[in-house]
Amino acid sequence: MKNKYYKEINEMILNYEVNREVKERKLFQEEIFLKWKIGEILSKIKNLELINEWAKEFTLNYGKNYTKTNLNKFLDFYLKNPNFSLGKLKDFQGKNKLKEKIMFQEIKEKIKQYFLELGKGFTLLGQDFKIKLGNKTYIIDLIFYNYEINALVILSLKDSKFKPSAKRQLEFYLNLVDAKLKKDDFKRTEGILIGKEKDEYIIHYVSDKKLTSFIKTSKNV
């Protein structure tokens, strides 16, 4: 029998596995790019004895992943893939809910990074930010503070087509954040809702309970 305790445990395990997979996947991508980049540099060096000497030092300092044999593999990898990019890596071949959550979490990470790289006053206050109201806990995908406009900015991500209920939920979050987080000298709280339509993510901006759809992005965000 799947009661509320089963569901609670299942959700905890699922979230843990998603976060673990996202971290491992990111490390894997960084490792692949590192090998390609090392190979690119090695392709510019014609002195093989020098490379062999470096391999001994790297192996001594960092372990057997950087032996002469492995450096040659990095070089070969670059020569065979001179135009390589991380975007060409295949997606994780997981299944069902786990795969969907992993992809959803990765999209959230990309969006967070995008806003932080805007450089227009955005500071991250929290991801999967929990706010308690009575006996219930609400989770907001991303919360930023923007010191340029002296306002809190809530970002809610939906992996589905826009529905009026999503706007109502975001408005509820706006009121919740105003009550729980907003300081007296903050001007306002803004909301951004990102929903998926076909292969694109559409960004909806919510301010003063008015919704405006203003940006379309590619499926890669």
Residue-by-residue DSSP string for 83-107? T--GGGSPPP---HHHHHHHHHHHH
Average pLDDT over residues 148-171: 80
What's CA 163's distance to the chain center, in Å? 24
Beta strand 200-207 with 188-197 is antiparallel
pLDDT band at 56 (very low <50, low <70, confident <90, very high): very high
Backbone φ and ψ for 165, nearest 5 degrees, come out as -65, -30
Domain match, 122 and 40 both: no
As given in the structure block, the two tokens for residue 147 are: 């010191």
pLDDT at 93: 42
Average pLDDT over residues 101-124: 70
Domain match, 61 and 121 both: no
Domain match, 84 and 102 both: no
Domain match, 117 and 48 both: no
What is the C-alpha to C-alpha distance for residues 33 and 28, in angstroms, rounded to an integer?
A: 9
* Burial profile 144-180: b = 16 or more Cβ within 10 angstroms, e = fewer: bbbeeeebbbbbbbbeeebeeebbebbeebbebbeee
Average pLDDT over residues 95-99: 50
Angle formed by the axes of helices 48-62 and 68-80, nearest 10°: 120
Domain match, 84 and 103 both: no
> In CATH, what number is assigned to the domain containing residue 106?
3.90.1570
Please state, for a pLDDT cut of 90, what percent of the chain lies above it. Answer: 9
Measured in residues, the chain has a length of 221
Domain match, 129 and 74 both: no
Q: 100 lies in which domain range?
A: 96-217
H/E stretch holding 141 reads strand 136-146
Contact 201, 215 (CB under 8 A): no
Domain match, 68 and 110 both: no
pLDDT at 94: 43
- Whether the per-residue pLDDT at 91 is higher than 70: the answer is no
Number of domains in the chain: 2
Domain match, 104 and 213 both: yes
User: Hey, is 59 helix, strand or coil?
Assistant: helix
Q: What is the mean pLDDT of the chain?
A: 76
Domain match, 159 and 69 both: no
* Of 162, 163, 170, the residue nearest 200 (C-alpha): 162
Domain match, 39 and 125 both: no
176-194 pLDDT per residue, tens? 888 888 888 888 888 888 7
Domain final residue, candidates 61, 88, 115: 88
Domain final residue, candidates 88, 119, 152: 88
User: Hey, is 209 helix, strand or coil?
Assistant: coil
Domain final residue, candidates 88, 112, 147: 88
Average pLDDT over residues 16-30: 72
Domain match, 108 and 56 both: no
Domain match, 14 and 78 both: yes
User: In this structure, what DSSP letter does residue 136 have?
Assistant: E
* Burial profile 51-68: b = 16 or more Cβ within 10 angstroms, e = fewer: eeeebeebbeeeeeebeb
